[in-house]
């Protein structure tokens, strides 16, 4: 993350949201290694990085992986007309990461056939947030009163910490910019993070994650 994107906290305890979008924080990811479950980094191999320009490196078992296999949640979906009677058929099923066809049964004419499915990738798997490149569980996530506090990387977590720590929150003042307000990461933080009564407890939790 560029330094210019960092929100500043003057001594007044103000948090000036510069409108950094979540996508701008998604530059690299700290996740659980798919081989040993310890801490691994997913970093871009070139800038600007598209989804394929990332590489995972585990600092524990030294496993290295290039983009290809998706470990996260995915759904296969088919919406077609039956090849025999032309009635609409649709079905969704969890995708296992290999076979991109779904077996379909037409209740109208009884035809059975496999159809090519479109795949939707999820960002939530086994009750945990995952990265958007490999779908691996994020390293920085903790349960908090039935909610999930998570961050893609340490810079992202630090920005959340600064937000929680600030006594006075302001929006769109630095710079005076209203266009990006709604997509700002801070603006979209869930309510449990914004609640003043949770501040002390959240800061303790974030400190254990940092």
List C-alpha distances in Å: 127 to 124, 141, 143, 148.
6, 11, 10, 9
Question: Minimum Å distance from CB 63 to Zn ion?
Answer: 4
Answer whether 145's CB lies under 8 Å from 195's CB.
no
* Residue 136 binding Zn ion, by CB under 5 A: no
Given 25, 30, 82, 185, the residue binding Zn ion (CB under 5 A): 82
- Our finding on whether 164 is near Zn ion (CB under 5 A) is no
Binding residue for Zn ion, selected from 30, 33, 42, 186, defined by CB under 5 A: 33
Does 128 contact Zn ion by CB under 5 A?
no
Residue with tokens 């004419």, as numbered in its chain: 109
CB 180 → Zn ion: shortest distance, Å? 37
- For residues 92 and 80, the answer to whether their CB atoms sit within 8 Å is no
H/E run at residue 106: none
Rule CB under 5 A: choose which of 63, 169, 171, 180 binds Zn ion: 63
CA distance 193 to 164: 7
| Smallest separation, CB 71 to Zn ion (Å) | 13
Tell me whether residue 146 is exposed, middle or buried, using C-beta atoms within 10 angstroms of its C-beta: 0 to 12, 13 to 18, 19 or more.
exposed
Of 104 and 166, the one with the shorter C-beta distance to Zn ion is 104
Question: Can you give the binding site for Zn ion, defined by CB under 5 A?
Answer: 33, 35-36, 58, 60-61, 63, 82, 84-85, 106, 108-109, 111
């Amino acid at each position: 993350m560029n330094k210019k994107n960092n929100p500043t906290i003057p001594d007044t305890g103000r948090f000036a949201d510069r409108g950094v979008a979540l996508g701008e924080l998604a530059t690299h990811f700290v996740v659980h290694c798919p081989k040993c479950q310890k801490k691994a980094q997913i970093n871009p191999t070139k800038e600007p990085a598209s989804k394929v320009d990332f590489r995972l490196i585990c600092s524990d078992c030294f496993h290295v992986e290039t983009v290809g296999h998706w470990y996260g949640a995915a759904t296969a979906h088919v919406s077609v007309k039956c090849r025999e009677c032309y009635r609409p058929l649709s079905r969704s099923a969890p995708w296992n990461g290999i076979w991109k066809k779904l077996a379909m049964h037409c209740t109208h004419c009884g035809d059975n056939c496999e159809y090519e499915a479109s795949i939707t990738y999820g960002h939530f798997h086994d009750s945990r947030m995952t990265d958007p490149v490999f779908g691996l569980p994020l390293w920085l996530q903790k349960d908090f009163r039935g909610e999930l506090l998570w961050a893609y990387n340490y810079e992202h977590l630090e920005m959340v910490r600064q937000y929680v720590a600030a006594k006075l929150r302001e929006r769109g003042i630095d710079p005076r910019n209203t266009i990006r307000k709604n997509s700002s990461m801070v603006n979209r933080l869930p309510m449990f993070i914004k609640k003043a009564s949770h501040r002390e407890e959240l800061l303790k939790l974030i400190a254990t994650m940092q």
